[in-house]
């Protein structure tokens, strides 16, 4: 597996990481813990060195899973986790609102270190921008944690350009984690040029469009009752049908190269910038191997041109979040 550096930082990771959220939360019931530990360890054996989790995934159980799975390999891998929510103590709701107060950030760091069975967090992201706490205070709190040796790198997630610049002025931001794929190309307008200017790496989540770009989902697909895609406008049957043209494009190119649509989608992302590191998630070994294989797919300038021209003529329909989740996106 090739390695990539996230921006100007010294954080070097595998070109493709592993998003672990879906193992515990989001796409239906939590998967079997022993099987997921085995899957994470298989990823390490195949060269993956970058693993993504968060306290809110579960909550808590995903960090515990990742910590246990990676304990034997801790000095060979980078673990990213996140802060920024008030979690519901009753367990009825996943969270009760945003909270990036400095004292809360430090409490979350201590708790995450224990769950991850480690003495340092490689990359600590603000999960969502908190409009009630100046980003300078957030960056300052993480700066303190870095000075204390509890965190190595500071990250932001779904942050807008102004927030990125203000945070970076206080504590250099190593990476931005936001959605980016052929299914959601908005970051190309302002975000990617800003990251390039400031020397910040980009970690796209949902690089396979929450599964849509794999070609395994169509308008007739039904999701588990606990699958959050049921709340996503982009995943209504009519929108899936309308957006099928993008999957057809990937399928056509994949067929010509004897690879899969998912591998083309990941290879396309890797071609955009050398400091982009996608983190596809999965609970299946054969999908893990398929995703890792995306790093070995080379796309010629002609193929990249074809994707760009064809995709630019495809209008994607449906919002990528529910109305309530959309409100938490920083602009």
Give catalytic residue positions: 57
Give yes or no for a cis peptide into 59 (omega within 30° of 0). yes
Structure token digits, residue 15: 């070109």
CB 215 within 8 A of CB 251: yes
Pairing of strands 50-52, 78-83: parallel
CB 59 within 8 A of CB 65: no
Q: What is the DSSP string of 159-181?
A: --HHHHHHHHHHS-EEEEEEE-B
Q: Which helix (H) or strand (E) holds 122?
A: strand 121-126
Q: How far apart are CA 62 and CA 54, in angstroms?
A: 7
Q: Which helix (H) or strand (E) holds 136?
A: helix 135-147
CB 104 within 8 A of CB 91: no
């Amino acid at each position: 597996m090739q390695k990539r550096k996230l921006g100007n930082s010294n954080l070097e990771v595998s070109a493709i990481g592993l998003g672990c959220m879906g193992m515990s939360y989001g796409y239906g019931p939590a998967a079997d813990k022993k099987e997921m530990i085995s899957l994470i360890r298989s990823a390490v054996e195949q060269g993956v060195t970058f693993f993504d989790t968060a306290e809110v995934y579960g909550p808590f159980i995903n960090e515990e899973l990742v910590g246990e799975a990676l304990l034997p390999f801790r000095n060979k891998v980078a673990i990213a986790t996140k802060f920024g929510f008030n979690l519901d103590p009753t367990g009825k709701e996943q969270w009760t609102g945003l909270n990036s107060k400095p004292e809360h950030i430090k409490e979350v760091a201590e708790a995450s270190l224990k769950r991850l069975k480690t003495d340092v967090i490689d990359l600590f992201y603000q999960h969502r921008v908190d409009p009630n706490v100046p980003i300078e205070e957030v960056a300052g709190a993480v700066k303190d944690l870095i000075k204390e040796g509890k965190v190595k790198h500071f990250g932001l997630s779904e942050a807008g350009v102004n927030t990125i610049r203000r945070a970076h002025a206080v504590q250099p931001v190593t990476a931005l984690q936001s959605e980016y794929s052929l299914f959601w190309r908005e970051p190309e307008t302002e975000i990617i040029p800003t990251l390039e200017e400031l020397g910040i790496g980009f970690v796209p989540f949902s690089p396979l469009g929450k599964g849509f770009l794999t070609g395994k989902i169509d308008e007739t697909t039904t999701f588990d009752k606990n699958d959050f895609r049921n709340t996503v406008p982009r995943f209504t049957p009519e929108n899936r049908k309308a957006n099928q043209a993008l999957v057809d494009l990937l399928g056509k190119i994949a067929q010509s190269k004897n690879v899969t649509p998912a591998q083309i989608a990941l290879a396309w992302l890797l071609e955009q910038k050398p400091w982009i590191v996608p983190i596809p998630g999965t609970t299946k070994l054969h999908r893990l191997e398929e995703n890792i294989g995306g790093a070995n797919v080379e796309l010629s300038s002609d193929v990249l041109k074809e994707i760009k021209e064809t995709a630019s003529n495809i209008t994607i329909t449906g919002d990528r979040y529910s109305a309530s989740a959309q409100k938490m996106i920083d602009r």
